[in-house]
Chains A and B, each alone.
Chain A
Amino acid sequence: MFRSLNEIEQTVRKAARGRGLPWGIADEAGKAVRCLHQMELGGIGQLIRMLDQSDAGGVSLRLVHGGGTWTPKSGKLDPLLAGPSLCDFMDARVSSRVEMEQVACPLLLAGFLVNAVSGRRDAMRLSWSGVSLEISSGQIGIHGSDQELETGLGDHVVCERIAGLDGLPASARSGQVWVEDAAWARLEQYARRTYVEATEASRNAGAGAGLLDND
């Protein structure tokens, strides 16, 4: 079914939170996946793959940073957790290069970085085995095969600042996006974890409105 970009952003936000990520991270995850769809890089498929790995205990919700390299506390590194911090470090010129080990679905990192450089002259290169993405405002230059791009694991992922890419037109699209119903249903399963089950008491007291409207 076709989905609006706002619908995707909001549902991803809830799904990320439903998987256990903090709200502030979930807010950015929604925007990152929306952005990947605008770039026609199919974010929801990658996201579900990552959430499923995470839900099975294969992805850590904490990361460890020592000696300039980010590693997962156990299992794989969560790109939804690493992505926002990556933007903080690269954007703030706190660092011009960050290295990460064992990143699950590393393509998801690109969504965060595109938003970070949006409207700026900054540019970044994100690379892992066989893949290099050159990211500037509204634009991603891709080098690598689809298979390598959509890998479920980037053993060693590097993000570094590169010279600004002037003159590239923004390629972000707006409009509806086709999402397979099964994928959407899976996303909603995660989102549903943020909802509280309704009881008769909450129905009456929680929202406060009368049930009938006949006056």
Chain B
Amino acid sequence: MRLERMGAFHQTRLSFMRALLRFLKKGNWQFERTRWDIDLRGVGTAIYQASGPDRMYSLICFANDLPDEKRSDRVIAEEWDATFVLFDGVPAKEEVKRLKKNVPKQEAGHYAQTELVLSRANRSVRLFEHVVDSLSVGRQPDREKMEAVGYLMRTTAVYGNGKFGISDRERIAHRPEFTGPFRAELLSVWLIRAFTVDIAEHLATVRGGSRATRMDARIRRRLGVGNATGLGMAPFLVLHPALIHAWIQARETALARVRNIERSSSEIIRGFSLLLSRAMLGVESWGTADPRQHKRIGKLKQDLVQLAAYVKNPGLGMPYPWNSLVDWSVGNLSLEGQELAVTLVIEPHQDLVDDLAEGMSIDESRYFRINGAQAISDALGFIRETYPWALDIDFSDPASMARFWYVSEEKLEPRLGERFDEPGAEKEHPLAYARDIARLYKDLMAFQQDNPDGPVMAQFLLACPEHRHAVRRIQVVRRLPYAEIRDNLISQGMMPIDLLRCKLSFFGASKFDPKSDRWVRINMYQHAPFPDEFSQMAEDDWVYPPLIPNPG
């Protein structure tokens, strides 16, 4: 798994947002806005309730009237347009009162086990105001403006798993609705999306009175939830190797199953062509001001034209059509194009692949323990075989060691520093596995020479405990081959956004819009059904825009 390829991933049928909505649909979950207590300035409380066969959850929203100058994209802000908590069950009045005192403070609040996810969002000023203004005079918002932004609000953080004292994931992980990765967080985001439209319509009514109108349902679906993702997400991929293996393995297995299909029906092939046209529409509306990404999207558009030509001639009537298509893509398309081709060939094969989405969680503790009985000679052989790319790096070259990962004292934000220009490298976090495994290899060699009687890992680690994290790494990678990112994460040319894009693609995000080499804006749930129309919408057919032009 190379960083450059990870940085070209697109969502697939296995992505967590899609798997979550499929699960909710199958379980006939019901959704209701049970409270709307928002005043004329847009300040107050709203509650959205999700009811499944066995349990209920409530998204409690606290809306704020934030002055423009306080609106920051960064995790380090202290006030937001709206704050949210996903509550386990239906909150009593007293609980809402308690949460009203705490949730708007986010990290600084006090929480109980009933709180599952904590989040906050800011308005996209340019689109939010336009939408409120248009609806207030009875007009639908402008299509181009909607396309250019794609969301009314952006979340700046979505916290789960025990952060700031909220519920540990292990308390809810056994529940069927939360067995997949990040499902509680993504349920919150989906409900937040409903709130973003409701608050805009509310303010339009306040402003326009009887002239105001609601948003057309088809236009509304073009809105997702925005998110600004910075370096905070990057260490996760490196520090959870077993989980990443589970994600990549599911994706690779899905692709292998599809490539193994000998013949496809004409119905599937027609469906694929239709899908390709819809994907082209989606790419057309993918805008960015980032020159690198702009160029990549331009090439991707050409790739899709080439792919469409391929689908006509030689076509997909030959034996093993998907395998041939993927092979052809590797020789003819850009990385973005190759990865979109992977997403697209998986897409029409739901019966073959959707089960894999349920196996993307893993009990990481099963891979945490170190095998002290491993022979040093065995470890050395494995490193030589699996990490030649790391052993080949010259770490005496400053360019190979140019960066270091650290956590800043200010709001505990992960950052990337310049090793030779900035203070703090002695507080480096353990993300430089290429370097650390190369060092481990050297010390294992020396240890073996000093102990010719066939030493084992327990003895080595007793003498050299500083290698413990690297030993754990090689032992995990030995059992889980997709667990490693095969690149030097502290080199000068490394692109941190590649890590972010990989993780976000598994979430199901789209419209990656890099703002630098280390943070990216995305759109979540664009084109997805809203809770109030969920039961009437087709299952999991939302990710690409429809071909029939929408009004507006």
Contacts and interface: CB of A to CB of B under 8 A. Distances in A.
A212 B407 CA distance: 22
B462 A85 contact: yes
B68 interface: yes
B171 interface: yes
How many chain A residues sit at the interface, stated as a range, is 35 or more
B519 A207 contact: yes
B154 to A, nearest CB: 7
Contact of B168 (A6, A84, A192): A6
Contact of B462 (A65, A175, A215): A65
A213 interface: yes
Interface stretch (B199-207, B276-284, B463-471): B463-471
Interface string B457-489: 111011001111111100000000000000000
B71 A212 contact: yes
A213 B519 CA distance: 13
Interface in B405-463: 406-410, 412-417, 422-424, 427, 429-430, 456-459, 461-462
Nearest to A211: B72
B372 interface: yes
A93 B373 contact: yes
Given A116-B369, A197-B424, A212-B71, A84 B112 contact: no
Interface string B361-387: 000011011111100000000000000
A25 B466 CA distance: 8
A22 B465 CA distance: 7
Contacts of B230: 207-209
Nearest to B149: A215
B369 to A, nearest CB: 6
Contact of B409 (A27, A88, A195, A215): A195
Nearest to A10: B162
Interface string B102-134: 000000001011000000001011100000000
Contacts of B515: 208-210
B368 A31 contact: yes
Interface string A49-66: 000000000000001010
B417 A206 contact: yes
Contact of A91 (B166, B372, B416): B372
Interface string A165-203: 000000000111000000000000000111111110111
Given A94-B459, A196-B409, A209-B228, A6 B163 contact: yes
Nearest to B73: A213
Contacts of A195: 406-409, 412, 427
Interface in A80-130: 81, 84-85, 87-89, 91-94, 115-116, 118-119
Contacts of A93: 373
B161 A6 contact: yes
Contact of A25 (B169, B414, B459, B465): B465
Contacts of B143: none
Contacts of A203: 408, 410
A85 B163 contact: no
A4 interface: yes
Given A4-B166, A88-B370, A210 B468 contact: no
Given A84-B468, A85-B462, A196-B407, A208 B72 contact: no
A94 B517 contact: no
Contacts of A163: none
Contact of A24 (B373, B409, B414, B465): B465
A27 B240 CA distance: 12
B120 to A, nearest CB: 12
Contacts of B468: 22-25, 27-28, 84
Given A92-B458, A196-B406, A209 B168 contact: no
Contact of A5 (B72, B162, B366, B424): B162
B170 interface: yes
Given A84-B465, A209-B519, A211-B74, A1 B165 contact: yes
Interface in A1-60: 1-7, 21-25, 27-28, 31
B164 A7 contact: yes
A147 interface: no
Question: 10 closest Cβ contacts across the A-B interface?
Answer: A24-B468, A6-B162, A88-B372, A4-B162, A206-B415, A196-B424, A92-B372, A24-B469, A92-B373, A208-B518
Interface of A: 1-7, 21-25, 27-28, 31, 63, 65, 70, 81, 84-85, 87-89, 91-94, 115-116, 118-119, 174-176, 192-199, 201-203, 206-215
18 contacts: A2-B110, A4-B163, A21-B465, A22-B465, A22-B466, A24-B468, A84-B370, A84-B461, A88-B372, A92-B456, A94-B458, A196-B406, A202-B417, A202-B422, A207-B231, A207-B414, A207-B518, A208-B517
Given A6-B163, A31-B368, A87-B370, 14 more contacts: A2-B165, A6-B162, A23-B429, A23-B469, A84-B370, A85-B462, A87-B372, A89-B462, A91-B371, A91-B372, A175-B171, A196-B406, A196-B423, A213-B71
